[in-house]
Amino acid sequence: ATFLPLRLHVDQDALDFLTRFFEFKYDDPIISTPKSEPVFFQRVEINSIRVKLDFKPKRVNYTGIRSGHTNEFMNFFILDRADMILRHSIIYGVSGFDRLGKTLNDIWMPDIKKNQLPGVLAGLAPVRSLVNVGGGVRDIIVVPVREYRKDGRVVRSFQKGALAFAKTTTSELTKLGAKLAIGTQSLLQGAEDFLSQPQFERHDVSAGWQDAHLDEEEKKQISLYADQPIGVMHGLRGAYTSLERDLLTARDAIVAMPGEIMESRSAGDAARAVMRGAPTVILRPALGLSKAVGQTLMGATNSLDPANRRRIEEKYKKH
């Protein structure tokens, strides 16, 4: 079998759903049907498949990590255009699609870990920016040589090379700053959600990606990278709106706290009222600031690099 190159945008929720779906087995003792024989593959040949992968985690299952599930560590990292090749494989005598998939996984994963880690690690969000900056450094040499061969003008060739380097470097540094700001926003949102919940209701800290004013179903669907501002001014307007909203939320929490303390019937109730409001009072201004910085830098990135805006529009659905 031959496959065209694959461009995959993988979301953690979708990955979890597919994993559960293919692992699901329906065992009903009431309904008994004769088991059909699995498909037998006498010979399967799959040519090399080039894959470019984006992966966006949303949460980390710390309970799973404590239980020894090391695959949860991948949910700490964002992959952006990670390159890998699923090598040419020939398999003989396999029964069932599940066995076929496991055999292919046993062939491809060791090869990727052993021979293709640079391409995968280059997809890590901070590393991707450094790789692209390296491409900008290359433009200092490549662009002047190409332009000199075209028209023979030395000064103009170096000017174009320097301009290409400056544009790439500025765009990548702005993009990296936006990712750091959004990552900070996610951590602060997760910390606020965790600390604001009663002890018996606490679950694993989410990786964020949520807006505090949306219902639970929408929170699972919308990424902080969706609906990006198209320019600097659009980003500044969004930054002002989000910062104002979060500061007002913190102010409301400060105003409401004395009333809750006065209504408390004991010192323990008063302490719990303070503990409920403290995360919002302390973290919400920082959350609003990181969100404002992220909005501004995303607007600047899309203004400097229109191609990035097109990639984002293809990758995330609009709301």
277/300 Cα distance (integer angstroms): 35
Render pLDDT for 180-199 as a digit per residue (tens, 0 to 9): 888 788 788 877 777 776 55
List Cα–Cα distances, 138 to 5, 133, 144, 162, in angstroms.
Answer: 26, 9, 10, 10
155/289 Cα distance (integer angstroms): 44
Nearest CA to 241 among 226, 233, 305?
233
Render pLDDT for 122-181 as a digit per residue (tens, 0 to 9): 777 667 777 777 777 777 777 777 777 777 776 777 777 788 788 878 888 888 888 888
pLDDT of res. 205: 40
Residue bearing the bigger pLDDT, 202 or 167: 167
∠ Cα 38 23 15 (to 5°): 125
15/11 Cα distance (integer angstroms): 6
Question: What token pair was written down for 202?
Answer: 């606490």
Residue bearing the bigger pLDDT, 199 or 107: 107
Record the pTM.
Answer: 0.62
DSSP codes of every residue in 241-294: HHHHHHHHHHHHHHHHHHHHHHH-SSHHHHHHHHHHHHHHHHHHHHHHHHHHHH
